[in-house]
Structure 1
Amino acid sequence: MQPNYRRCIACRQVARKETFWRVVRVYSSHQVQLDRGMGRSAYLCRNAECLKIAQKKNRLGRSLKAAIPEEIYQILKQRLPSE
């Protein structure tokens, strides 16, 4: 992979990291948050299908090695582009 390219944990698509949502497990506190912080990161496409797959198959939890709060999924659902 080229620098600044990442892979979606749901559909495995490779693209520039700006096209994905970033979910981070912060190193020091082990809290899961969106978009900022240093620690283990997982990337997810900005569409409903990938979000549904990630939630159903617990892809975020396995990638980050942490429990994902329901609030994270709710925030991501609100960020979905309106159709």
Structure 2
Amino acid sequence: MKIKKTPKRMCTGCSEMKAKKELLRIVKNKEDEISVDLTGKKPGRGAYICKNVECLEIAFKSKRLERNLSSKISDNIYDKLKSEILTEQQKV
């Protein structure tokens, strides 16, 4: 019986390779809307980030998130992402 490989992705904030299930996917769709993809299956360009606010802040300050998604991210979108990560943390 084959052992199934767990897909790994790199966190945009801390640059650590982690299992895909441990990370949140931030996606930019064709209309250039940026949102958190909790299912991991939304169509569009994706970037992965740890489920903590510190990694989001590092990725935002160093503009890694903007480079990965190839678009400018406003402070409003950043605040929305931060609140969604905080609510996700409370669920866990």
- Give the TM-score, by structure 2 length: 0.72
Q: Structure 1: where are the runs of 5+ without partners?
A: none
Out of 38, 53, 62, the residue aligned to residue 58 of structure 2 is 53
Say how many residue pairs are matched: 80
The question of whether the paired residues in 2 share the 8 Å contact of 1:34 and 1:72 is answered with no
Q: Identify, as 1 or 2, the structure richer in helix.
A: 2
CA gap of 1:32–1:76, structure 2 versus 1, over 3 A, is closer
Out of 15, 19, 22, the residue aligned to residue 16 of structure 1 is 19
Alignment of 1:22-33 (within 5 A): 22-26=25-29, 28-33=30-35
Instruction: Note the aligned Cα RMSD (angstroms).
Output: 2.0
The structure whose Rg is larger is 2
Deviations 1:59-81 (A, max 9, x none): 11111101113233223322333
Give the deviation of 1:12 after TM superposition: 1.0
Identity of aligned residues (%): 36
